[in-house]
Structure 1
Amino acid sequence: MTEKREFRRVLLKISGEALMGDGQYGIDVGTVDRIATEISQARQSGVEICLVIGGGNIFRGLSGAAGGMDRSSADYMGMLATVMNALAMQNALERQDIQTRVLSAIPMTTVCEPYIRRRAIRHMEKGRVVIFAAGTGNPFFTTDTAAALRAAEMNCDALMKGTNVDGVYSADPRIDSSATRFDTLSYMDVLSKDLKVMDASAVSLSRENNIPIVVFSIQSNGAFLKVLEDNENCTIIF
């Protein structure tokens, strides 16, 4: 294991599917509340936090395109789904007295603020949790890429990828019991081995800006704070 890393400001990337709970689609309020508790605990420890949440629990652009829909239209629909998830998370966080702002790359001022980099940084400096919605605002880019982009723009110390498993494995641990977890990987390891952690453009963007990617399980109670404090039960890509 490498030396412990201190994270002062992080971006947490959560897939839309993580909000479904045991359901097949949509938003499970109990699951959103549990994740909000994880974020609240980490915020109270003094770490500045921003989030990007996917939209796959509501609509996935690639699936729409595969069904014959125009890819750009499908991707825009996926971006709108991320706004719905962001508003659900904002509501859950504010019920825990955590000040939160949703900033959307697609302007919709009735429900949230437009994304302006300096405004987002100022919100974080004031101790608010900032949720970035609508991806990059452009089709053909995933929310993974949006997360890497926002992490770079916010000068984050790490991009935290919350998944269903506690790191990157040599194989799917849910299928292969002999799969082993990597404590660390290089960006080039991920790219050359085509490890399905994040899409290649997100990994490349993180590499160019020297932002570590920390992969951990968002499904384990207390895991987010624990990874921030001791860097254990995770994979760090740098």
Structure 2
Amino acid sequence: MGDIRRRGAVALGVTALVTPLTLAVTAAPAQAASCTTQAGPYQRQVEGFLGRPVDGKQSTTDCRATQAFQDRHGITPDIGYAGPVTWGVMNLMNKQKAVGNKPNKDGKCPVNKGRIACVNLTLQLSWIQDGGKLVYGPVPVRTGRNGYETRTGSKKIYWRHIDHVSTVYDVPMPYSQFFDGGQAFHSVGLSMWNPPGSHGCVNMTTKDAKKYWSLLRNGDDVFVYGRKPGT
């Protein structure tokens, strides 16, 4: 596949998957909603994730820490309530972090195709491998929401456009690499954990989308499997 394609492993992106579990508590942004005084059904889990005292009781500092997390990832309403959406995002982050540098431990992404981009919808992770060798990642991604699911199966990159703009939604899609109809890898200016998800594309940070652009070419394989939570 050429010397550039065979340069060896790049630095893994595992450490960038999640923010530190101990979150500094700061004043909520001026535009944020008022804090709720009600403890949510996932109060203890959220407190533990945020490094707060785990007592199952909602305090002002608990609420502000939860609210800051919600604002960071676009979770609404951002009232500091420890509900299923907020805990779902946190729980996914925990699962992503647990993967470490072995995203294909279950062997579900093919290792007999050479260079391939893998997408695990269940864990919202993607990586690039060459045979059984990890080349880049795993990195968090944001895939299709309910009704706009990212389609599963074996695919190939067939068109690349670095400055693409969606003709359907009239929004920029930088570093687009299309692999299934209108579905592509591309960067977005959103948190990768921003619910409910994309309109089918595999969203990435600008850093990761640029790296995918440098590592992949037309004709390279893509394999998508699993099921995004909530779809």
Interval of TM-score (by shorter of Structure 1 and Structure 2)? under 0.3
Higher RCO (CA 8 Å, separation ≥ 6 residues): 1
Structure 1-normalised TM-score? 0.24
The structure where strand makes up a greater share of residues is 2
